[in-house]
Structures are given as C-alpha cells and as structure tokens.
C-alpha cells in the first residue's frame, strides 16, 4: 500500500489530501509544520511526500534540503505543493530534487492518479527522464516569458 | 766833498735805479715766496700755471737788475760792454720765465736775471691768480659728485669756496617755483626762509638770468624783509645771486652766496660767479644724465616687480586697487586714481591718497577735458601746477582734494584698446618728465593685461565653481576616469553611494576602489543605463549607471564619465511589492484551494462520504470563504487608506463587546492553533468614541499577529481599561518580540519584520499593522508597541473615552 506523507500548516489542505488519497486506497500521514514533517519522514520513510513550501519555522525548502542530506530520506520523491506559483520557485523546487510541483489551488481528485503515475515511473527507473521532462517543461515556460 | 767826475756821475746815474729796481723785485719775490712754496707743495705740476710763473718773475727780474746795477758800478766798461751785460741780464731773467711759462723746466729757487718789468703787472696777476684759483677750485669740487642732490650741494660749496663766501644755497626751478635743492654751510634760519615761501626778487632774478650783488643786504629792499632778516640772523651781510642754467629746462635756478662781512665785489669775483654758473651747468647735465639712468633703472625694476605683483592678482578689482598704489609709488607720487572706461563714461574704480574716498565711483564723460583727452588722444597729459586751476579741480576730484600736479596716461589693453586712465598726483608742483609718463603708461598696460587675465580667470573660476557646485550637490554619483582608467573626479554623491571617500578613490581605478569595473561589456551606449551591484561594506548596493565616453580630437578615448544612482531602496520597495504580491497571492490561494478542493471532493462520484465528513467539508468551504472575504476587505481598506477614501463612523462604542466578539470569532475559526487566549476585561462598561467595525478589524489584526507570532502553547492576553478620558486596549504575546530598530518600521506598508519571514513565512502580508494604524488614527486614536527582542510584544490601542 502506498504511504503518502502530507506536510502542510493548513489543516483543511491536509484534510483534503487525506480524504482524496485514502479514497484511492493510499495511506496518508500528516504533519502540520516543517520540523515535525521532517521527523515523520525520517521515522516513517513514506513512499512519497507532498510538501507545502510556505510554512512558519522550517519551510518546505528547508525540509527538502534536510531530506536530501539523509541517506534514507534522500530517495523519497517530493512533490511540492504551494501557492507560490512563480517561475523561480518551480525552478528551485526541481533544483532541490523535487520530482513535481503542484500549484494551489489544485484539483484534489487528480492527486492520487498523479502520485500513482509518478511512483510507477520512478519504479521503472525513469527518475532522470522525469527530471528532464520537468526541466524542459520549465524551459518552455521560460521561452514563453 | 771832492768833485765827482762826469763819468762817475754817469755810472751812478745808471746803476742806482737798477739797484733800486733789483731791491723792489727781490722784496716782492720774498713776499710771494710762502704762497709760491705752498702752491708748489700742493700741486707741483700746477707751476705751469701762469699765476705761479708770474710770481717767479719777481726775483728773476730783481736779480737781473742787481747784476746790471753792480756791473755798472764796479765795472766801468765802455758802452758796448754794458750793452752785453744788459743782454746777459735779460737772458738770465727772461729765459727761466719763458721756459717756466712753456712748462719746460722746474722753477729755480732763485735766479739772476736782468729785465725791466712794469709795476702794474703784479696787480693784474694777482687778480688773474684769484680768478684762476677760483676756477680751478670750482672744477675740482664739481668733478666729484654724481647724483643731483650731491651736485647741487657741490655747486653751493664751489661757489662758497671760490667766491670766498661763508655759505651758499642753490635753488632749483621746478613747476614755476624755486625750490631749495642744495646748500653749503647754510644756517638753519636761511634754510628755513629759502625752503618756505618764495622770496621776493629771487624769481625775477631767475627769470632775468642776471647776476645780482647786494653789498649791504640789510639795506637792500629787493628781497623783501624775510631774507635780509634771516641773513642778519645768520651773521651774513652781503649776498651774491648767480643765475643757474638748468639742463632740459627753460627756467633758471639760482646760486645764493652769503658773505659775513660787507663785501665789495671785485671784478674777478663777478667773473668767477659767471664761471660757477657755467661749471655748474656742466655738472648738472652730467648728474642729470646719471639721475636719468638711475631713475630709468629703478623704474624698470619697479615696473618689473609691479608687473609680477599685478600678474599674480586674480581679482580684477584688486588689480586696479594695486595699480593705484603701484602707480603712485612708481613715480614717488602722493596719490593715484584709476578710471575705467564704461561705455562713454570713465568711472573711478580705485584711488589712493587724499580724496580717494570721494573720488571712488565718480563718473565723467569719456570726452571731457583732461581725462577724456587722455582716452581720445591715447597719450599722456600732465599738469605741473594746478594752483588755482579751477578747471583742473573740476576735471579731477583728486586735484580738487588738494593735489597740485598730476600725470595721467591711458590704460591700454593687450588688444590695443583703451581700458581707462591711470593718474598719479603730487601735493607740490612738479614737472613730470617724459620717462615718468612712459613708465606709467607701461604700468597701465601691464595692469590692463593683468586685469584681462584676472577677469578671464574669474570667469573660468566661476564656471568651475558652478560646475563644482553642481557636482557637489547633484544626487547622482559622478565619476570621471582619465584615459588610463584612473579616477580624476569622485563627487560627494559618489562618496555617499559607494562609501569610498574621494581622497581614497582619486588616482586609482574602479576595480581597485570598488572591486569591480564600471565599464560596460557591450560598450557605452549613451542614454542607456544599466544595473550593476557593488559592495558597500557588508551591504550590496544596486546602481543604475550610465556611461559617457570622452574622445580626444583624434577620436581616441580620452576618458569616461559615469553617472549612477543608488537604486537599492527602489529595489527594496520593488522587492517588498513583489513579496506582497506573492504573499497576497498565497493568502488568496490558500482559502481558494480549500473551497475548490472540498467542492471537487464533494462532487466525487466514486467515494461516498458520511454525513459528518460532508459537514466538515462544507464548514471549511464556509469558513475559508469568510477568510477570503476578509482578505479582500483588508486589501480594499488599504486601497481606501491610500486614496484617503477611508471613512469611519465614530459613535459611542462598547469596547468590551467588540473585544469579546473578535475573540469569539477567532476561537470559532480554529485560528488559535493551540495558543491560549486570556481575556481580561473590567466589569464596568467601557465606552469609547470609535467605529465599532473598524475597531473590530484592528483587534482582529492584532490578535492574528499575536497568535501567529506566539510559540505553540503560548498565551495571548487581551485586556482593556479606562485611563482618565481614554480607553486603552492591549494585546500581549509571548513571541519573539520586535527589535527596537524595527518598532517604528512595522507600521509601514508592506513591511514585514525581519523575523517574520523566518518564523512565519507565509501569511503575513505586511499590511496588518499599516492598516491598524491607519484605522486607529482615522478614529482619532493612537497605536504603539512596547517590546524587547525575545520577550514578546504588547500592542496598545488608545481611543478617546465616550459617554459619561
């Protein structure tokens, strides 16, 4: 069973993620701030992390950087989940090792298929391809600007 | 007595007169001997002089006569023998005299000769001797001196000596009057009389050019009372007045020789007097030449030093000030004035001496007599004596002020144009010489050139001052580099912006000074500024910089000029705005995500949610919608504050009720996130003159902040109290506090505390406190914070009390 860790300081957002992912048969872990989220990631070693960027205290970037430093946590794929829709934030997310980037507001119904699809590709060993895809997506955005 | 024979009688008759003649001559010779010896001792060569030779003839003739007489007595020769003897005697007496006169032999101490000499010759010789001696004395005395003053004194001495007088004075004709120029042994009483006023009769004597002799001065009425009285006081009885021709002058001077005793003037004395005049003229001409040379040299020196002094003066008006002083000193005058041609007027720009203050700034037409003439004719005009000259006094204020003589020359500039007039004055009448006028003209030209230079310098200086003032005060940093890239200009704004003092920057290159080049990689484009950042200490400073190239006539780069502004603060504002936009975007997106997300979730067909779950979803949709509304309200309020469109409805408001409602709403929205809210309100009713809704908004902001910045498990205290005629509401948290430096800034729009970004991250728009302050002030109240870093913060809102 797929275990998803949701780290977000907004209770309604966590709830949204949980009901929709559980509806698809996934197990959802929750954390309401950066430090507890990081601790949970290290303890539970979930299959994937949905990580909010703007949180008081340790923000999403910090959590991701800490996870990259941990031997066990660095392989956990991260999907950034944030209201910060700017180009540079997306680029930063990918730089830090995120595999995808979801901008709020998002349709929670699409969360589970997205998570599932990503995990399947990663299992097929397409992590690098995935990154290249996202980077070229960004590049095309950049050209549009 | 025995009868004498005829022959004896004849011998006696012939010999006795001869012996008598011999005795007379020998006596005369003996009498002359001391004088002769004295003459010989003093000047042996002078024995050639006829006077000395004459003296020697006496003994010679005496000896010759004695030889003849004795020969006649002793030797009764026949007539033929006596004739031979006579011839011999004549030869003895005559040859030495002739030889002596021809200067061939030294005089014999005594000689024997025979000759007959007329007794009258002695008197004439004496006179001639006196004349010759006097003439010689004159020549000797006058050969020595060089300067005019010494020469005049020498003339007085020569006249005294040669005329055997007791004292003498020389008067020089100048400017129509006679002035005491030299003297010898002159008693003070006479000096005073001759120095003071004109003595009657002397001017006429000088004009006539005739010798005047006064044997009895006391009884002589030609000279008025002053001179005879003074002479009597000095013990002088006689006066000889000799006219003196002066070189380069039509007027005569006078030599006055005074005698102690009453003097019967002998012819030779009068003739000597004439010779004195001649000799004095020669000496004066020589000294005049000497004086001219000396003056020319002195004037040249003074001109040179004046030129240097004037050339060093950088203020045009000071040039003229100095010119006035230098001109006066150049000609040893008593004052000077400098007139500058302004249009068709001459205006006194500088003056020195008596009347200077009156003369300053006076104007006269450039065509007027005297000064105008100088301008029109471009040549000098002199006044030797302005005594009683009303026209001169009217033309020149300096003459009106009491100067008696003046010389004025045009001031001619380097381009040949007349710039004005320079005049020099003297208190006494004075004949201005041509060389003086020429020297003044030269000084005037030097001054005109110096003034032109000073004016140019001043205009350049002013230009420079203007440029410097602009560079000093312009807000943009201006930096100029020379062709080697070294800083030659670094204005104060550049110092301020870069933090590098000009003294450190000059002579170095921007990479040395700033750690980076200012040069554009793509080459300078005029009018296009670019952004670049430099370090100022620990700070990064952003510059908007434009660059201009200076090229030399050959087209090569001669230097670069950079102008830059510090746009760090603009960038900071931009950054704040950008942060605000992303914050607002986040603030809006968060509730929107919940609303949209729960709606989509509820719409899921594949999942069946229970009643409780559906209610939770719907409550979130409702509360998040409310949150969205309040955010939009807040933005609208800010816009209203910005445009001044904020309106408050001040009425009696129950503060306790407002506080209770806001706290309840906060708790209802689950917004406390685990912080404890402690409310302390008085039992009595607290009425403030306020807008209840706005006060509610303010308290909501403060509580939101307090909750946001409090650590989990912390306590937020809300209280209210009455203080005199004020109502005070306070919100206290246990958060990180606000550093003192930030306490004033937190009320600014978009400002988010340094710590808020770290600790809060999202959520804070930087508008809450700005809005709170705006609302409180609109209600006539006051808001402030009391905080120490790390020890929480307490916000106070103070409003006027109402009711009662």
In terms of domains, do B142 and B278 share one? Answer: yes
Q: Is A139 exposed, middle or buried (0-12, 13-18, 19+ CB in 10 A)?
A: exposed
Look up the CATH number of the domain holding residue B579: 1.10.287.130
pLDDT level of residue A20 (50, 70, 90 thresholds):
very high
- pLDDT tens-digit series, residues B498-507: 889 989 999 9
In chain A, whose CA is at the least distance from the CA of B587? Answer: A83
- Asked if A25 is an interface residue toward chain B (Cβ–Cβ < 8 A), one would say no
So what's the pLDDT on residue B47? 45
d(CA B6, CA B2): 12
So what's the pLDDT on residue B765? 62
In chain A, whose CA is at the least distance from the CA of B621? Answer: A12
Task: Look at residue B782 and tell me if it is in a domain.
Answer: yes
User: Which of B117, B147, B167 is the C-terminal boundary of a domain?
Assistant: B117
So what's the pLDDT on residue B203? 81
Phi/psi of residue B800, each to 5°? -65, 140
Task: Look at residue B175 and tell me if it is in a domain.
Answer: yes
Q: Tell me how many residue pairs between chain A and chain B have CB atoms under 8 A apart.
A: 78
Nearest-CA distance A42 → chain B (Å):
23
In terms of domains, do B557 and B571 share one? Answer: no
Give chain B's length.
804
d(CA B310, CA B761): 76
Give chain A's length.
145
Q: Is B101 exposed, middle or buried (0-12, 13-18, 19+ CB in 10 A)?
A: middle
In terms of domains, do B663 and B795 share one? Answer: yes
For residue B604, the chain A residues in CB contact (below 8 A) are 20, 23, 109
Look up the CATH number of the domain holding residue B400: 3.30.450.40
- Asked if A23 is an interface residue toward chain B (Cβ–Cβ < 8 A), one would say yes
For residue B589, the chain A residues in CB contact (below 8 A) are 83, 85, 104-105
Task: Look at residue B96 and tell me if it is in a domain.
Answer: yes
Cβ separation B607–A19 shorter than 8 A: yes
Do you find a cis peptide bond into A105, omega within 30 degrees of 0? Answer: yes
Segment (H or E) for B127: helix B121-142
The count of structural domains within chain B is 6
- pLDDT tens-digit series, residues A28-37: 999 998 999 9
Cβ separation A109–B604 shorter than 8 A: yes
- Asked if A43 is an interface residue toward chain B (Cβ–Cβ < 8 A), one would say no
Q: What share of chain A is helix, strand, coil (3-state, %, to 5)?
A: 50, 15, 30
Give whole-number Cα distances, B700 to B557, B663, B677, B693, B721, in Å.
65, 8, 13, 10, 18
* Nearest CB to B598 within list A16, A83, A85: A16
Read out DSSP for B408-455? EEEEE-TTS-EEEEEEEEESS-----HHHHHHHHHHHHHHHHHHHHHH
- pLDDT tens-digit series, residues B373-420: 999 999 999 998 888 888 888 889 999 998 999 999 999 998 999 999
Cβ separation B763–A54 shorter than 8 A: yes
In terms of domains, do B479 and B603 share one? Answer: no
Phi/psi of residue B678, each to 5°? -110, 120
Residue B325: CB partners within 8 Å, gap ≥ 6? B336, B352
Q: Are B333 and B425 in contact (CB under 8 A)?
A: yes
In terms of domains, do B658 and B775 share one? Answer: yes
In terms of domains, do B109 and B145 share one? Answer: no
- pTM (predicted TM-score): 0.45
Least confident of A138-142, B319-323, B585-589, B662-666: A138-142
In terms of domains, do B164 and B234 share one? Answer: yes
Every domain of chain A and the residues it spans: 3-144
* Nearest CB to B593 within list A13, A23, A56: A13
Task: Look at residue B298 and tell me if it is in a domain.
Answer: no
For residue A82, the chain B residues in CB contact (below 8 A) are 586
Optimal mutation site among A23, A60, A92, A104, interface B, most CBs of chain B within 10 A: A104
Identify the CA nearest to B650 among candidates B566, B776, B746: B776
In terms of domains, do B651 and B784 share one? Answer: yes
Q: Are A12 and A52 in contact (CB under 8 A)?
A: no
User: Which of B293, B325, B344 is the C-terminal boundary of a domain?
Assistant: B293
Per CB distance under 8 Å, which residues of B are interface residues toward A? Answer: 582, 585-586, 589-590, 592-598, 600-601, 604, 606-607, 609, 613, 616, 620, 624, 670, 708, 759-763
The token pair at B568 is 């760090």
What percentage of chain B carries pLDDT values higher than 70? Answer: 81
Cβ separation B597–A105 shorter than 8 A: yes
CB atoms < 10 A from the CB of B485, how many?
17
In terms of domains, do B595 and B707 share one? Answer: no
Residues 120 to 139 of A: which have CB under 8 A from any B CB?
A: none
For residue A106, the chain B residues in CB contact (below 8 A) are 593, 597
Please say if the pLDDT value at position B755 is more than 70: no
Cβ separation A57–B596 shorter than 8 A: no
d(CA A83, CA B763): 11
3-state SS of A19-88 is: HHHHCCCCEEEEECCHHHHHHHHHHHCCCEEEEECCCCCCCHHHHHHHHHHCCCCCCCCEEEEECCCCHH
The token pair at B56 is 């020697």
Read out DSSP for B138-180? HHHHHTS--SHHHHHHHHHHHHHHHTT-SEEEEEEEETTEEEE
Q: Are B114 and B92 in contact (CB under 8 A)?
A: yes
Mean pLDDT of B166-175: 86
- pLDDT tens-digit series, residues B449-479: 988 888 888 888 888 888 888 888 888 899 9
- pLDDT tens-digit series, residues B225-261: 888 888 888 888 888 888 888 877 778 888 889 998 8
Give whole-number Cα distances, B176 to A135, B607, B797, in Å.
116, 141, 104
What percentage of chain B carries pLDDT values higher than 90? Answer: 17
Q: Are B482 and B557 in contact (CB under 8 A)?
A: no
Query: Which of residues B280 and B353 earns the better pLDDT score?
Result: B353
Look up the CATH number of the domain holding residue B667: 3.30.565.10
Optimal mutation site among B579, B597, B706, interface A, most CBs of chain A within 10 A: B597
In chain A, whose CA is at the least distance from the CA of B757? Answer: A56
- Asked if A19 is an interface residue toward chain B (Cβ–Cβ < 8 A), one would say yes
In terms of domains, do B108 and B146 share one? Answer: no
Nearest-CA distance A130 → chain B (Å):
26
Query: Which of residues B644 and B801 earns the better pLDDT score?
Result: B801
- pLDDT tens-digit series, residues B537-562: 888 888 888 888 888 888 888 888 89
Optimal mutation site among A8, A18, A90, A105, interface B, most CBs of chain B within 10 A: A105
Please say if the pLDDT value at position B29 is more than 70: no
Task: Look at residue B542 and tell me if it is in a domain.
Answer: yes
In terms of domains, do B346 and B429 share one? Answer: yes
Cβ separation A54–B594 shorter than 8 A: no
Is the alpha carbon torsion for B771, B773, B774, B776 positive or negative? positive
What CATH class has A3-144?
Answer: alpha beta
Task: Look at residue B402 and tell me if it is in a domain.
Answer: yes
Task: Look at residue B1 and tell me if it is in a domain.
Answer: no
Mean pLDDT of B196-207: 77
Mean pLDDT of B35-59: 52
So what's the pLDDT on residue B88? 67
User: Which of B264, B293, B322 is the C-terminal boundary of a domain?
Assistant: B293
Optimal mutation site among A8, A12, A24, A54, interface B, most CBs of chain B within 10 A: A12
* Nearest CB to B761 within list A16, A55, A86: A55
Query: Which of residues B54 and B384 earns the better pLDDT score?
Result: B384
So what's the pLDDT on residue A6? 96
pLDDT level of residue B55 (50, 70, 90 thresholds):
low
Task: Look at residue B468 and tell me if it is in a domain.
Answer: no
Look up the CATH number of the domain holding residue B543: 3.30.450.20
In terms of domains, do B435 and B340 share one? Answer: yes
The token pair at B116 is 């007959």
CB atoms < 10 A from the CB of B587, how many?
24
Optimal mutation site among A82, A83, A111, A113, interface B, most CBs of chain B within 10 A: A83
Domain carrying residue B285: 137-293
- Asked if A54 is an interface residue toward chain B (Cβ–Cβ < 8 A), one would say yes
Task: Tell me the sheet residues that pair with B364.
Answer: B346
Residue B608's SS3 state is coil
Cβ separation A54–B761 shorter than 8 A: yes
Task: Tell me the sheet residues that pair with A145.
Answer: none
So what's the pLDDT on residue A3? 95
CB atoms < 10 A from the CB of A123, how many?
10
What Rg, from alpha-carbon coordinates, does chain B have?
Answer: 61
């Amino acid at each position: 069973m797929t275990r998803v860790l949701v780290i977000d300081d907004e209770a309604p957002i966590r709830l949204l993620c949980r009901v929709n992912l559980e509806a698809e048969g996934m197990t959802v872990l929750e954390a309401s701030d950066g430090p507890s989220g990081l601790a949970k990631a290290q303890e539970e070693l979930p299959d994937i992390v949905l990580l909010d960027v703007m949180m008081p205290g340790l923000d999403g970037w910090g959590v991701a950087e800490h996870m990259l430093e941990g031997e066990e946590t660095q392989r956990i794929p991260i999907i950034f989940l944030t209201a910060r829709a700017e180009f540079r934030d997306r680029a930063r997310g990918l730089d830090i090792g995120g595999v995808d980037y979801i901008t709020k507001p998002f349709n929670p119904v699409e969360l589970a298929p997205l998570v599932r699809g990503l995990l399947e590709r990663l299992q097929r060993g397409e992590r690098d391809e995935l990154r290249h895809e996202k980077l070229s997506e960004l590049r095309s955005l950049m050209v549009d600007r | 007595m025995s009868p004498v024979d005829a022959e004896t009688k004849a011998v006696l008759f012939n010999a006795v007169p001869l012996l008598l003649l011999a005795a007379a001559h020998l006596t005369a010779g003996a009498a002359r001997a001391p004088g002769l010896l004295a003459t010989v001792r003093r000047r042996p060569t002078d024995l050639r002089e006829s006077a000395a030779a004459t003296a020697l003839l006496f003994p010679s003739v005496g000896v010759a006569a004695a030889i003849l007489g004795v020969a006649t007595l002793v030797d009764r020769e026949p007539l033929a023998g006596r004739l031979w003897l006579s011839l011999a005697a004549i030869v003895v007496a005559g040859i030495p005299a002739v030889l002596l006169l021809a200067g061939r032999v030294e005089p014999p101490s005594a000689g024997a000769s025979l000759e007959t000499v007329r007794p009258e010759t002695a008197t004439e010789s004496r006179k001639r001797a006196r004349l010759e001696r006097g003439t010689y004395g004159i020549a000797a005395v006058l050969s020595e001196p060089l300067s005019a003053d010494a020469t005049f004194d020498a003339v007085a001495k020569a006249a005294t000596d040669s005329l055997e007088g007791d004292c003498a004075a020389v008067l020089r004709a100048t400017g129509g009057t006679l002035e005491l120029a030299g003297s010898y042994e002159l008693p003070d009483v006479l000096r005073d009389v001759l120095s003071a006023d004109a003595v009657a009769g002397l001017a006429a004597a000088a004009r006539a050019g005739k010798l005047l002799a006064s044997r009895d001065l006391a009884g002589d009425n030609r000279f008025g009372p002053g001179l005879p009285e003074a002479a009597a006081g000095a013990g002088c009885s006689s006066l000889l007045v000799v006219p003196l021709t002066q070189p380069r002058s039509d007027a005569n001077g006078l030599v006055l020789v005074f005698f102690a005793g009453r003097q019967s003037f002998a012819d030779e004395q009068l003739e000597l007097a004439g010779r004195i005049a001649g000799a004095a003229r020669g000496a004066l001409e020589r000294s005049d030449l000497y004086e001219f040379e000396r003056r020319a040299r002195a004037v040249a020196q003074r001109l040179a030093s004046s030129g240097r002094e004037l050339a060093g003066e950088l203020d045009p008006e000071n040039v003229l000030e100095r010119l006035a002083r230098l001109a006066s000193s150049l000609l040893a005058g008593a004052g000077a004035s400098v007139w500058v041609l302004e249009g068709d007027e001459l205006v006194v720009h500088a003056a020195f001496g008596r009347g200077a203050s009156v003369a300053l700034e006076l104007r006269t037409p450039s065509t007027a007599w005297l000064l105008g003439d100088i301008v029109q004719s471009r040549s000098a005009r002199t006044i030797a004596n302005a005594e009683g000259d009303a026209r001169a006094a009217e033309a020149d204020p300096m003459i009106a002020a009491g100067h008696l003589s003046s010389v004025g020359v045009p001031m001619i500039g380097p381009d040949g144009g007349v710039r004005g007039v320079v005049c020099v004055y003297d208190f006494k009448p004075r004949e201005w010489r041509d060389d003086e006028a020429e020297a003044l003209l030269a000084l005037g030209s030097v001054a005109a050139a110096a003034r032109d230079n000073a004016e140019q310098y001043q205009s350049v200086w002013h230009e420079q001052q203007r440029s410097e003032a602009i560079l000093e005060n312009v807000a943009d940093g201006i930096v100029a580099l020379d062709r080697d890239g070294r800083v030659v200009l670094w204005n104060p704004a550049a110092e301020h912006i870069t933090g590098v003092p000009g003294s450190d920057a000059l002579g170095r290159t921007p990479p040395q000074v700033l750690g980076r080049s200012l040069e554009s990689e793509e080459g300078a484009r005029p009018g296009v500024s670019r952004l670049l950042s430099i370090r100022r200490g620990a700070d990064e400073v952003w510059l908007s910089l434009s660059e201009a190239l200076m090229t030399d006539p050959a087209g090569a780069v001669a230097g670069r000029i950079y102008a830059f502004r510090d746009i760090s603060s603009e960038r900071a504002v931009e950054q704040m705005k950008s942060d605000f936009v992303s914050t607002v975007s986040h603030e809006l997106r968060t509730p929107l995500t919940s609303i949209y997300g729960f709606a989509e979730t509820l719409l899921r067909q594949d999942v069946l949610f229970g009643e409780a779950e559906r209610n939770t979803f719907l409550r979130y949709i409702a509360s998040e919608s409310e949150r969205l509304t309040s955010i939009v309200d807040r933005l609208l309020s800010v816009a209203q504050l910005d445009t001044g469109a904020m309106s408050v409805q001040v009425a009696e408001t129950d503060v306790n009720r407002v506080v209770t409602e806001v706290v309840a709403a906060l708790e209802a929205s689950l917004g406390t996130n685990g912080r404890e809210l402690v409310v302390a309100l008085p039992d009595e009713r607290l009425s403030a003159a306020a807008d209840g809704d706005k006060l509610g908004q303010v308290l909501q902001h403060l509580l939101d902040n307090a909750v946001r910045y409090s650590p989990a498990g912390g306590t937020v205290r809300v209280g209210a109290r009455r203080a005199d005629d004020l109502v005070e509401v306070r919100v206290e948290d246990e958060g990180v506090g606000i550093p003192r430096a930030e306490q004033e800034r937190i009320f600014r729009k978009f400002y988010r505390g340094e710590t808020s970004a770290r600790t809060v991250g999202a959520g804070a728009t930087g508008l809450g406190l700005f809005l709170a302050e705006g609302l409180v002030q609109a209600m006539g109240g006051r808001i402030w914070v009391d905080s120490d870093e790390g020890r929480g913060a307490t916000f106070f809102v103070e409003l006027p009390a109402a009711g009662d």
